[in-house]
Chains A and B, each alone.
Chain A
């Protein structure tokens, strides 16, 4: 019996979630096959083949998979996963889009957002925006899991490359077509694998004043985040949203600035190593989970912080 792990990538490199998924499935102790589906992505397959514990890499290259659609990738996954006991993907927007459709084609259910593997058929995952954790047992023979990458340590071991095979697959036609992507242009690090994240909330009051946290982020070489309240108020675009309905993050250092700490935001940051909260309301719930809290007017505190970072020689620029 095998685990089929679908690797996420940009056709050149593996996504940061990959090593975490490898770490997650290690306890299942089964033969591991990694699928790399894309267009001109042999380099990604080679990269995956060098990770310890990977038994085989399946490389599926097709123009259709340059921007994979669920209508085409899910049936291909269902063909390839036919004899596998586990099918796993990261709980990213790609995994969320592709995996449930595949489960339905295989006639089984799925567990989303797995944060712990209790036993070979029993898993934990958060429900109610992280307000509770549910343990579920899968009764199906095939187990389909989307995995919250930040909940598992990354596997790092390397090996002499395992075989890369090219299985034959049938890609169905479909009426859906990809038109374009508008990638958020940013010189800052990506939220999901940043060491430091600086996030701003409604306390920033306006789009212009949100620049204050952007400035701090740049000084620290940090990724830029935001609460849902700040995104909904139009201070910043939605791809910066941290929380249960945005991105789940796990940096070494997280600054929550002018963020009250709504449960849906807290659910997205609780794996951060150190949380710093700066808020003028001393009763804000964010202080209950912050390692270090500073009560004060952020419009005074943040410029002071930037100044003192410079004085201490801790700025990246």
Chain B
């Protein structure tokens, strides 16, 4: 079985987010970048399936400029067998990303596509579902448990009301949630080894896609801040405030 994991280069989740002065973008100069944490969980799931001999090959794929090779090398250091960069300097909306992925997936023919449920930059939570729709494959989103037996896939997914158990057959697209696993760290020897692993570059133009602009960014601003509150000294003072000032207790 062949598993394809999509990864995205994003601002490190622990870095501070700053809107630039002309409100046109989030500042990325001198900001630490990392693999989207949800994608690391997807990759970890794929690696465990290979380690338990359910899968034979794990491929990491990203769409983006040259510098995204770093993210792919990180994926290779974590244990992926090979990497694909679909090279493009333009920013793409989720729908265009899904179209690019669809095209490459039809060339690679993986049995399973594992993806983070959302990227922590745009928080869109769209690409896996769009890709599954374009491929007309089964989709299971927000997976917190995953088992494969033959061509049968059994997944527990997180929903607002609790958990839902679904079964489907491969090929399928699965998006993963936080609690699926705890991703590993890359060891130094594996970081060294990753430099020798194959990394294929596909020029976006060579895919022959006709991508249109669907969404235009107008501006980015800081969120409105709640006015700072007051400190109270005791439980009695707190309840007085809630009861008589804010009037939120009956």
Contacts and interface: CB of A to CB of B under 8 A. Distances in A.
Contact of B138 (A132, A135, A174): A174
Interface string B138-155: 111110100000000010
A127 interface: yes
A138 B220 contact: no
Given A133-B223, A274-B248, A70 B159 contact: no
Contacts, number: 243
Contacts of B127: 100
Given A94-B159, A177-B167, A314-B250, A308 B236 contact: yes
Given A137-B218, A291-B246, A93 B235 contact: no
B242 A104 contact: no
Interface in B37-63: none
Given A101-B133, A137-B218, A292-B230, A179 B242 contact: no
B148 to A, nearest CB: 14
B232 to A, nearest CB: 5
B122 interface: yes
Interface residues of A, number: 85
A128 B133 contact: no
Contact of B93 (A109, A182, A232): A109
B123 interface: yes
Q: Could you say which interface size class chain B belongs to?
A: 35 or more
Interface stretch (B71-79, B80-88, B191-199, B208-216): B208-216
Interface of A: 67, 69-71, 74, 92-94, 96-105, 107-113, 122, 126-140, 174-184, 192, 196, 228, 232, 237-239, 244-245, 247, 252-253, 270, 273-276, 287-295, 301, 304-305, 308-309, 312, 314
Contact of B166 (A136, A177, A314): A177
Interface string B1-26: 00000000001000001010000001
Given A128-B26, A312-B243, A112 B124 contact: yes
